Amino acid sequence: MSTNPPESAGIVETRLLHKMHRAATSLLADAAQRDNAPSAALAELRDFLVAALRHHHESEDDVLWPQLIAADPVAGAALSELSTEHDALDAALDALAVAPVQDDADRAAVAAAAASVRDLVHQHLEHEEPVLFPALAAHMSDEAWAEFSRAVIASAPPVGTHLNLGFFEQVGTPTELALVTANLPQAVLPIVPAMREQAKATLNSLHTTDNVRTVIA
């Protein structure tokens, strides 16, 4: 029997969020390469990612990092380096936000911008997790994390919110999903089934075009 203590809520929820970011940026980069990817779904995913990634790293820079640095000043240098990577991601998100995705547009620009964001996000998370997870384990109680998580959810931009749920259900374990949904505002709970169906329609349309391409190849 394992004697390892259970992981903190902060680590469990952050790992799920990072899995979602990896999956979402990968799907956008893959779908943007294909002319037959539905433009509406592509724009929906693009707009969601731009808003969600900005909000995520701003929450880290403005709220989470200061809390962790106050608890452990030695961690400040490593966290500052991560914030520098956030600046590079912001520039890539700017390019992605204005890349055209209409049916009659040349998709080369959005494909390149999506690939750049994907690569930066994946690389950034590889750098972040070895620093952040130990800091969360040592200095962030479950109660403090729940307060932070609720504040982040409450301040999240209302752009493609249903896709958060859709990706969480694709990549998350039951334990991870239970932890995240526990922090949802009570007013949101009645519309979760509709959000789930809306997300499924968008993500299936992008995954389906990928499957068609694979079969033809």
**pLDDT tens column, 119-135:** 999 999 999 999 999 99
Residue 74 has a pLDDT of: 82
Q: How far are the Cα atoms of 146, 157, 190 from residue 193, in angstroms, in the given order?
A: 23, 20, 7
Cβ contacts of 65 within 8 Å, gap of 6 or more: 79, 82, 83
Q: How far are the Cα atoms of 40, 85, 96, 215 from residue 203, in angstroms, in the given order?
A: 11, 28, 19, 18
- Ranges of the chain whose pLDDT falls below 70: 1-5, 103, 105, 208-217
